[in-house]
Chain A
Amino acid sequence: MFTPHQAAQAYAQAFDLFARLYRHGLTPALVIEAAQLPDLAAVAPQPYDADEAAAAFHTLFAMNVFPYQSVFLDPDGLLGGGETDRVRAGYRRMGFVVDEANEPADHLAHELDALAFLCQAEAEAWEDERWDMVARAQQLQADFLDGHLLRWLPAFTAAVQRQEEPFYAGLAELTLALAAERRRSLEPGRLGVQRARDEDIALTPRSHLNGAGDALTLTPADEPPAQRVERLLANPQTDLDAIAAFLLTPAYSGLFLSRRDIGRLGRAAEAPHGFGERRQMLRTFLRSAAEFDRFDAALAGLRSLVEDTAWTLRRWGSETVSLSTVQPWLDRLSATRRLLETLEAMSPSASQLRNHGVNFHQNAIE
């Protein structure tokens, strides 16, 4: 076992290495580093081809699963909104300077870098025997993990798992385990420094509910997913596009649907899935499924995606992270389940839906 000091050093290196992997992909330089870690070496592509690896990286993170906190947590499901600002505020609080020239603040690589930065700071504090600073650095890590990274990492990891890229599937699962393990090790009493809570609070306000100084609290419009589903179902204006929008917003649906996922759903349901951005693809898929009597099959595909994802998350909840970390995602998924079930029940008429301007609700229920 490590001393707390060594642990901080090791975590700093691990977060740093992972950050670089998410930033650059498996470049020739990084493949050498990764090879030294048995768990990564096991999933690294054999034989290694730099071009293939670069293409795989690009396909996965630029075209399919977008590694940004805002994509997973923002009620808009869009990049660069309130969530990104919250992340920025979090960095400011810890004194981490983020270079946003190429990626916005909430890119996974930046978040891992921020943790590496805190672990490094902690390690240095151990060396300098600055216990107050150790405590502060630990507190900031815990806050950042709770307020940011761990809030979305499970769903991100679940999404990456489906993308048929063994290396990144392994990397993502390892990232989740690493973050969870770090969080566990920060529980009071485990790392040798008893935190003086009073002092801590003065020094380091809790991040996610206490950003008053930055006026950046959790989006107030953030509606519980179950409620959102009820509202959708009750609203006579709800059409397939609104349902697509719901499904595509991980903050509500608990799912992240990549282009590849939608493509797979389309093939399974034998309905065309269009192209382009995910929203466009899913809309096309749902509309054409409705039009060509494939709506049941479409719903069934979505249902099994929900079940699979929930199963995976539950497994992590018992093995890797704490149950409370995955619970919000399970809640979201069960809201989605409820939505899909309701649609299934209406299905005979739903399958008669036609493309444009159709009011889903009225057609379906009346």
Chain B
Amino acid sequence: MTEQSKINRLLSALLGRNSDVRRTSKGEGGFGLPEFASTDLKPEPAPMTIVHHPDGRMSQYPPVEKWDDWVEWDGKLWPQRVARRYMLIPTVCFNCESACGLLAYVDRETLEVKKFEGNPVHPGSRGRNCAKGPATHNQTYDPERILYPLKRVGKRGEGKWKRITWEEALSDIAGQMRESRLKRRDGIVYHVGRPGEDGYTNRCIVAWGVDGHNSHTNICSSSARLGYALWSGFDRPSPDHANARVILLISSHLETGHYFNPHAQRIIEGKMAGAKLITMDPRLSNTASMSDLWLPTWPGSETTVLLAIANYLIQTGRYDRRFVRRWVNWRETLAAIRDGKLDLGDPALQAEIAGLAFPLSEDDFVYFDRALKALYRDFTFERAAEEAQVPVERIRQAAEWIADCDGRLAAHVWRAASIGNLGGWQVARALFFLNVLTGSVGTRGGTSGNEWNKFVPKPFASPPGPEAWNELHFPIEYPFAHYEMSFLLPHFLEEGRGSIDVYFTRVYNPMWINPDGFMWLKALRDESKIKLHVALTPTWSESAWFADYVLPMGHGGERHDLMSQETHAGQWIAFRQPVRRVAMEKLGRKVRYTYEANPGEVWEENEFWIELSARMDPDGSLGVRKWFESPYRPGEIITVEEYYRWIFENSVPGLPEAAAAEGLTPLQYMRKYGVFEVKRENYTPYEKPAPAGKGVEVDGERKVGFETPSGKLEFFSETLYNWGWPEREYTIPWPLKSHVHPDNIDVQKGEMVLLPNFRLPTLIHTRSANAKWLYEISHKNPVWMHPSDAERIGVKTGDLVRVTTEIGYFVDTVWVTEGIKPGVIAMSHHLGRWRLQEDLGVNPGMSALARLEEDEEGRFKLNYIHGARPWKSFDPDTERIWWEDVGVHQNLTHAVHPDPLSGAHCWLQKAVNVRKADPGDRHGDVWVDTNRSMQVYREWLALTRPANRFSPDGNRRPLWLKRPLKPQAAYYKLPKVAISRNGQGGHEVEQPVIAKAGQ
């Protein structure tokens, strides 16, 4: 057939058929580097907003009145003078938990974002940011960002994807949620890394009627939380660094830590005003190097050092007796001594106390003083110095400064030693003991509870707590877990404890960030255990690779959220905004959904949850839909704008008035400033008079007090005593023997401690790989090693070492430095990203191409084929990648170490062997035996004292302790039948011997 007749045939066929000629156009592309319009306007001199920083520096910002129309020269085009016309839209950084303010410079014509700078009116960050704030721009214009919803084609993890529409994704996922919810109330799970928002998504989960919240807390802060909670009911500290006399940090707050930028500026401010800075860290961090006193304590010895300082205050009487008498549960403690619940180690004094007339009088406080002296007398400086391997003078010096702090001790531990060690929660408890002894609780320059300084407003309607208990998150072995046992999820699944119907990972990369990643890999690819995995992420990750849906979500300038943090002794609330959307609206364009303003088809999460929830329950029969109906338009689905409008109009005290004063609605006010200061100062709120029927009596007055059973700060914990932990080392602040205690590390045999949990200041956990500037600054994580150790094993900087852990090994280069304690090796978190396919997965410049192999017996091997490579994209910078080493993924080789109380993963690893690499070893090699993984897991699981054997009241968990999205009280009851294995039931559960508690 000739070409001509072929075409004729084609044309005839077309003429003969009935076609509807549609002209839609959807395809890839259209996304690239931002472009900006020039303007004939010239920058005019304007009175700049000047922020005087307390450290003496000063910054200038365009004045708020000019934010809607700001003209300035384009600095990039210098020496040409090209003026640009912007709209300055405030938003909130999404790159760590600090919630610093950002100001987006949005081109008024092209609507592209030129840069992100600080927001000068934000009371927490005060116009400043760390490097990660402005890097929001990199993320926004990352050539590898995911722009469209993708659905898996082929097997999970095979790497084949197709683009789908949002409607397809929403209806399929909502359908599966509905199906699950009709069957059970623990089948839907939302697994989040750092939330970066307050309350919105949690409300959605509760509205779905499930117990489905899962967080990364147990690989982060759970031990610190338990330590603080046992004292006070609040689960995290809020130090007032700026006004402190002594700042005591068990962390590296000047470079990372909660809340990095807001805290770092206030620590330096305090220091400039004369505060002494003391840091405990086996590693010479930037913070340690800025400190007046560095205590390079052996990991796990921190509690002993803190108690030695406490002992010094106690024995010398240099503690705040009035505060302790008024606010510590000393009466309950003396009663416990009387009843033999607490052994003083001093029989004579114990007998004397037993003989006291109860109830006690104020004067009996002397017995508590004597009891403290008896309890802690062995905690000498010498003992602490020996355990910590630190010169004794330094500990004495620290104690002197603290004794002199005058109620102004700002102290903080969040991850560091508390998450590192078995029993790390006692580090936080011993640290807060110093706040208690010095009376630095909630004072100016002291340490507050986070809730006093954080403001979370109520939304228009709050669904009641779930009528369910998720056994996979809060299994009966861990009644004190703070909180979900998230990092054991794969181990629980492996044991057949349950399954998940719909699993959302939200900006979270569990397989990469958790210990024992190959166990995650096994779980994630098993479709019988995780039936549907939806990854909500702006960028590729190792875990998203094993998802069924990959749904692109917006970055810091592309979404709505509310956020408040306890950055200092005051309260503020900040509004994250999709800056292009806001600019478009200000320019008079109507925007219904944020994705209309975002690149590609990137949604914002808030709208995603609304649309998804509405589709989950289209007719309202599940009782879900009603929580997503507009308070302004009854019966109709809410818009994201209405959600926040209601909050600003009704639940932020002072905001409507402040807005009215400027002739704005509350929503307009927040759109304009991006932040509102709710309270300037909030010291010692527990001293306030209690509302009728509430609070606790102190010196004859009813006070607000603390959220503990006694209403006071709890030195002796009756709760722990009653729940099966009656020994002294649990009921009061006391050292617990760490799993990396020197007794457990035989240096002569080549054993060392691996400190794997420090962060470099430019890393956003696993989200840095889409920020080119950040990766240029730090991309590799060599093993820090002391020269004496390097000499012993015969390596020098740059050599390869093989580090063998309990379950496998990895190979990395070594960096020989005096900045780490002998016997300890350190390695930064968050580096060693990899991908399995050349052109898909984590950015090629930020990850290594790897080969993954596995044998029949559950052993895994990861080898790098090559490191980072430049690649071509619309961004010429991607061709300028000059580094190859992107670090080594150490977490894969970490055994899980669940603390039996707090449930924390104790990050410190016993390095069974550290030696020069074998001839065949290559950088990045990882080998793991998951059989060993399960064995170590079981060893640690055996340390627990499960609720079904020890609960004093038939509950799974003490009711008064916090828990995210607390179920209704009835669901705290222990189950009669173990773990609902997909509704198939299990064995009978041993029931608690209630009597045991009271004996």
Q: Which residues of A contact B838 (CB under 8 A)?
A: 275-276
The reply to whether A275 and B27 form a contact with Cβ atoms under 8 Å apart is no
Q: Mark A270-287, 1 if CB is under 8 A from B, else 0.
A: 000011111110000000
Residues from chain B with Cβ under 8 Å of A99 in the complex: 25
Residues A11 and B11 in contact in the complex (CB < 8 Å), given A17-B19, A23-B27: yes
Please state if B871 and A320 are interface contacts (CB–CB under 8 Å). no
Q: Once the chains bind, are A276 and B871 in contact (CB under 8 Å)?
A: yes
Of A35-43, A292-300, A336-344, the stretch lying at the interface with chain B is A35-43
Interchain CA distance A16-B10 in the complex, whole Å: 13
Query: Which of chain A's residues have a CB closer than 8 A to the CB of B7?
Result: 177-178, 181
Task: Point out the residues of chain B lying under 8 angstroms from A12, CB to CB.
Answer: 21
Distance in angstroms between the alpha carbons of A52 and B32 in the assembled complex? 28
Chain A hits for B17, CB < 8 A: 33, 36
Give B20-60 as 1s and 0s: 1 = Cβ < 8 Å from A's Cβ atoms.
Answer: 01110111111010000000000000000000000000000
Instruction: With both chains docked as a complex, state the minimum distance between the C-beta of A357 and any C-beta of chain B, in angstroms.
Output: 15
Q: A51, A52, A80, A277: which contacts B871 (Cβ < 8 A)?
A: A277
B26 touches A14 (CB 8 A): no
Cα A52 to Cα B154 in complex, Å, equals 8
With A62-B28, A109-B27 as known contacts, state yes or no: A14 contacts B869, CB within 8 Å. no
Residues of B within 8 A of A210 (CB): none
Contacts of A279 in B (CB 8 A): 872
Nearest CB in chain A to that of B872: its residue: A277
- Chain A residues with CB under 8 Å of B11's CB are 2, 7, 10-11, 14
- Whether a CB of chain A sits under 8 angstroms from the CB of B554 is no
Interface residues on A, range: 35 or more
A104 close to chain B: CB less than 8 A: yes
Cβ of A231 under 8 Å from chain B: no
Q: Does A133 contact B (CB under 8 A)?
A: no
- How does the 8 Å CB contact mask read for A318-359 relative to B, with 1 for contact and 0 for none? 011000000000000000000000000000000000000000
* Smallest CB gap from B1: residue in A: A39
Residues of chain A contacted by B6 (CB below 8 angstroms): 39, 174, 177
Q: A16-B21, A177-B7 are in contact. Are A275 and B839 (CB under 8 A)?
A: yes
Residues of B within 8 A of A103 (CB): 25, 27-30
Interface assignment of A46: CB less than 8 Å from any CB of chain B: no
Q: How far is the CB of A24 from chain B (nearest CB, A)?
A: 7
Does A275 lie within 8 Å of B869, measured CB to CB?
A: yes
- Judge if A237 is at the interface, Cβ distance under 8 Å: no
**Chain B residues with CB below 8 A from A238, complex form:** none
Residues of A within 8 A of B8 (CB): 1-2
Rounded to whole Å, the gap between the CB of A122 and the closest CB of chain B is 14
Residue of A nearest to B152 (CB): A51
Contact A259 to B163, CB < 8 A, known contacts A99-B25, A276-B844, A276-B871: no
Cβ contact within 8 Å between A109 and B25:
yes
Contact A39 B873 (CB under 8 A): no
Contact present for A102 and B839 (CB under 8 Å): no
Interface residues of A in 88-136 (CB under 8 A from B): 99-104, 107, 109-110, 113, 116, 120
Chain B residues 156-196 with CB under 8 Å of chain A are 160-163
* B15 interfacial contact with A, CB 8 Å: yes
Contacts A14-B11, A276-B844 hold; do A180 and B872 have CB atoms under 8 A apart? no
Chain B residues contacting A13 (CB-CB under 8 Å) are 14-15, 19, 21
Pick the residue among B4, B21, B25, B161 that contacts A102 (CB under 8 A): B25
Output the least CB separation between A332 and chain B (Å): 22
Q: Does A55 contact B (CB under 8 A)?
A: yes
Q: Is A6 part of the contact surface with B, judged by Cβ < 8 Å?
A: yes
Chain B residues with Cβ below 8 Å from A7 are: 11
A63 on interface, CB distance cutoff 8 Å = yes
Q: Is the CB of A280 within 8 A of B872?
A: yes
Task: Determine the chain B residues whose CB is within 8 A of the CB of A174 once the complex forms.
Answer: 6, 10
Taking CB atoms, residues of chain A closer than 8 Å to B27 are 23-24, 102-103, 107, 109
Report if B849 contacts A (CB, 8 A).
Answer: yes
Chain B residues near A63: list those with CB within 8 A. 839
Q: Does B3 contact A (CB under 8 A)?
A: yes
B15 touches A277 (CB 8 A): no
Whether B977 is near chain A, meaning CB under 8 Å from some CB there, is: no
Bound Cα distance A276, B840 (Å): 9
Q: Across the interface, do B871 and A280 meet the contact criterion of CB distance under 8 Å?
A: yes
Q: A100 to B31, alpha carbons, bound, how many Å?
A: 10
Complex CA distance for A147 and B100, rounded to whole angstroms: 54
For the complex, give the distance between the alpha carbons of A181 and B8 in Å. 9
Q: A217 interface residue, CB < 8 Å from B? A: no
Q: Which residues of A contact B12 (CB under 8 A)?
A: 2, 10
Query: For A12, A101, A102, A279, which residue has the most chain B Cβ atoms within 10 angstroms?
Result: A102
B334-363 interface mask toward A, CB cutoff 8 Å, 1 = contact, 0 = none? 000000000000000000000000000000
Tell me, yes or no, whether B870 is within 8 Å of chain A by CB: yes
Q: Which residues of A contact B26 (CB under 8 A)?
A: 23-24, 102
Q: Does A101 lie within 8 Å of B30, measured CB to CB?
A: yes
What is the CA–CA distance of A193 and B595 in the complex, to the nearest angstrom? 49
| Contact flags B603-616 to A (C-beta < 8 A → 1, else 0) | 00000000000000
Say whether A204 faces chain B, with CB atoms less than 8 Å apart: no
A51-B872 contact, Cβ under 8 Å, with A7-B11, A181-B7:
no
Please give the distance in Å from B934's CB to the nearest CB on chain A.
35
A23 touches B14 (CB 8 A): no
Hey, which chain A residues are within 8 Å of B4, CB to CB? 181, 184
Interface digits, A1-37 against B, CB 8 Å rule (1 contact, 0 not)?
Answer: 1100011011111101100100110000000010011
Is the CB of B13 closer than 8 A to any CB of chain A? yes
Roughly how many angstroms separate A180 CA and B10 CA in the complex, as a whole number? 14
Q: Is A267 an interface residue (CB 8 A)?
A: no
| A14 lies within 8 A of B30 (CB) | no
Shortest beta-carbon distance from B944 to chain A in Å:
45
Q: Is A218 in the interface zone, CB < 8 Å from B?
A: no
In the complex, besides A17-B14, A36-B17, A38-B9, 13 extra interface pairs with C-beta distance below 8 angstroms are A7-B11, A10-B12, A11-B11, A20-B22, A24-B26, A39-B10, A51-B153, A55-B161, A58-B162, A100-B30, A275-B869, A276-B869, A279-B872
Chain B interface (Cβ < 8 Å from any Cβ of A): 3-4, 6-15, 17, 19, 21-23, 25-30, 32, 151, 153-154, 160-163, 838-839, 844, 849, 869-874
Closest 4 CB pairs of A and B: A275-B838, A54-B162, A277-B872, A10-B11
